Structure 1
Amino acid sequence: MADKETDSSGFLRAQSLTSMAQREIERLVMEGHYSPGERINENALATRLGISRGPVREACRTLAAQGLVQLIPNRGVFIRVITEEDAKSVYEVRAGLFGYCGMLLAGRITRAQLDHLELLIEQMEVAANASDFDRYYPANLTFHDFLISASGNERLVRTYHDLVRQLHLFRTRGLVSGDGMKASNREHREIVAGLASRDAQRAFKAMHDHVIAGRDRAMGAIAHAGS
Structure 2
Amino acid sequence: MQMRDTIRESVARRRQRPLVIEVRDELERMILHGEIAPGERLNENALAEQLGVSRGPVREAARSLEREGLVQAVANQGVFVRKLSIADALELYDLRAMMAGYLCGALAGRADGAIRAELRGLVEAMDRAIAAGDERRYFDLNLQFHDRIAEASGAERARALYSALCKEVRLMRLRVLQGEPSLRQSNEEHRRIVAAIEAGDAAAATAAGAGHHENGKKRLLDTIGQRDT
TM-score by length of 2: 0.86
1:6-33 alpha-carbon deviations (Å, 9 max, x no partner): xxxxxxx9x7121122112112212222
SS in 2 for 1:78: strand
**Counterpart in 2 of 1:80?**
82
**Counterpart in 1 of 2:195?**
193
**Counterpart in 1 of 2:70?**
68
Show the 5 A alignment for 1:1-227.
16-172=18-174, 175-227=177-229
* Contact kept in structure 1, 2:24 and 2:62, CA below 8 Å: yes
Aligned length: 214
After superposing the two structures, state which structure 1 stretch, 20-29 or 148-157, moved more: 148-157
2:148 partner amino acid:
F
1:101 partner amino acid:
L
SS in 2 for 1:40: coil
1:46 partner amino acid:
A
2:161 partner amino acid:
T
Q: 1:211 and 1:178 mapped to 2: Cα distance?
A: 18
1:140 partner amino acid:
N
Alignment gaps of 5+ in structure 1: 1-12
Q: 1:187 and 1:83 mapped to 2: Cα distance?
A: 26
Q: 2:177 and 2:142 mapped to 1: Cα distance?
A: 15
Cα deviation, residue 174, structure 1: 7.2
1:217 partner amino acid:
R
- Percent identical pairs in the alignment equals 42
* Contact kept in structure 2, 1:70 and 1:79, CA below 8 Å: yes
1:166 partner amino acid:
E
* Contact kept in structure 2, 1:175 and 1:221, CA below 8 Å: no
1:150 partner amino acid:
A
After superposing the two structures, state which structure 1 stretch, 204-213 or 17-26, moved more: 17-26
Q: 1:129 to 1:44 in 2, by over 3 A?
A: closer
Cα deviation, residue 151, structure 1: 1.4
After superposing the two structures, state which structure 1 stretch, 173-182 or 100-109, moved more: 173-182
1:94 partner amino acid:
R
Cα deviation, residue 158, structure 1: 3.0
TM-score by length of 1: 0.86
Q: 2:51 and 2:30 mapped to 1: Cα distance?
A: 13
SS in 2 for 1:179: helix
Q: Who wins on radius of gyration, i.e. which is larger?
A: 1
1:80-128 alpha-carbon deviations (Å, 9 max, x no partner): 0101111101111111111110121111001221122112212222333
Q: 1:178 and 1:168 mapped to 2: Cα distance?
A: 19
Q: 2:78 and 2:137 mapped to 1: Cα distance?
A: 36
2:193 partner amino acid:
I
Cα deviation, residue 200, structure 1: 1.5
**Counterpart in 1 of 2:11?**
none
**Counterpart in 1 of 2:8?**
none
Q: 1:200 and 1:149 mapped to 2: Cα distance?
A: 17
Cα deviation, residue 36, structure 1: 0.9
SS in 2 for 1:189: helix
* Contact kept in structure 2, 1:175 and 1:222, CA below 8 Å: no
4+ long deviations beyond 4 Å: none
